[in-house]
Amino acid sequence: MNIFIYGLNYSVKREDLINLFSPYGEVVSARIIIDRETHRSRGYGFVDMKNEEDGKAAIAALNGSNYKERVINVAIANERPVKKNA
């Protein structure tokens, strides 16, 4: 299950997301989105959890919680649109 997290403190790293979500189940991957020009965090990221039930439990527990002095929002990520060749 792919999970979208926004409102993150700009100091949050990939390992922080793994540690935050691990108590709820197995984390397959985590990534912080970086601005291409400044090379700094954009304040959001994604976590992929192996089990959908664990992902839903993590969303329920973490959405609206305070993490590293910021209130974070956690939701199911939208599917990426498929690019069509023109």
Q: What's the one-letter identity of residue 42? A: R
Q: How far apart are CA 64 and CA 48, in angstroms?
A: 19
**Sequential pLDDT tens for the chain (86 residues):** 999 999 999 999 999 999 999 999 999 999 999 999 999 999 999 999 999 999 999 999 999 999 999 999 999 998 765 566 65
Q: What is the pLDDT of residue 78?
A: 87
Q: How many CB atoms lie within 10 A of CB 28?
A: 13
* Nearest CA among 4, 50, 6 for reference residue 26: 50
pLDDT score, position 84: 65
Domains and CATH numbers, the chain: 2-76 (3.30.70.330)
Longest dimension (CA), the chain: 45
How far apart (Å, rounded) are the C-alpha atoms in residues 41 and 80? 20
Quick one: how far is CA 36 from the chain centroid?
Answer: 19
The pLDDT, as a whole number, for residue 80 is 64
Say whether 24 sits in a helix, a strand or coil.
Answer: helix
